[in-house]
Amino acid sequence: MSAFDGLGAIEPQALFEGIAARAVHGDRITLAVVELDPDSVLPEHSHENEQLGIVLRGSLTFRIGTEERLLGPGETWRIPPNTPHFARTGSQGAVVIDVFAPPREDWEAAERLKGRPPRWP
């Protein structure tokens, strides 16, 4: 198995309505490029995985615990394990990177979306 891959070759998976991810899984980390449709909602949820991320394109309102912020490209977040978080996009949508440790093994079951080219880069 190659050490290298590319977004164009990775099948996206539907995480929530209007939110899809292309993921690279290591033994300790999952790195995902996540596309959020315009006016989409990441419902409040939490998980044991620590999560860090950064906006690549567009913008989104992110809430972690009780702290809420409107984020654009180059802005980052850090979500401790088991901390409720929520996000919503505006009319532009967003593309972000999210990384998780341990890896998101629970994504194995997420629906694969066929024939959808990456929106970024």
- Using rule CB under 8 A, residue 62 touches a copy of itself: yes
99 makes contact with a copy of itself (CB under 8 A): yes
Residue 17 or 84: the one with the smaller Cβ distance to a copy of itself is 84
Distance CA 79, CA 63 (A): 10
Return the residue matching tokens 């989104």.
60
Q: Does residue 14 belong to the site contacting a copy of itself (CB under 8 A)?
A: no
Record the tokens describing residue 78, joined without a space.
């850090």
The answer to whether 12 and 112 have CB atoms below 8 angstroms apart is yes
x-or-dash string of contact with a copy of itself, 22-41, rule CB under 8 A: --x-xxxx-x-x--------
Q: Select the residue interacting with a copy of itself from 79, 87, 94, 96 (CB under 8 A).
A: 79
Q: Which of 58, 62, 88 is nearest to 77 (CA)?
A: 62
> Which one-letter DSSP state was computed for residue 110?
S
7 binds a copy of itself (CB under 8 A): yes
- Residues at the contact surface with a copy of itself, assessed by CB under 8 A: 2-8, 24, 26-29, 31, 33, 50, 52-54, 56, 62, 64-65, 67, 69, 71, 73-80, 97, 99-102, 118, 120-121
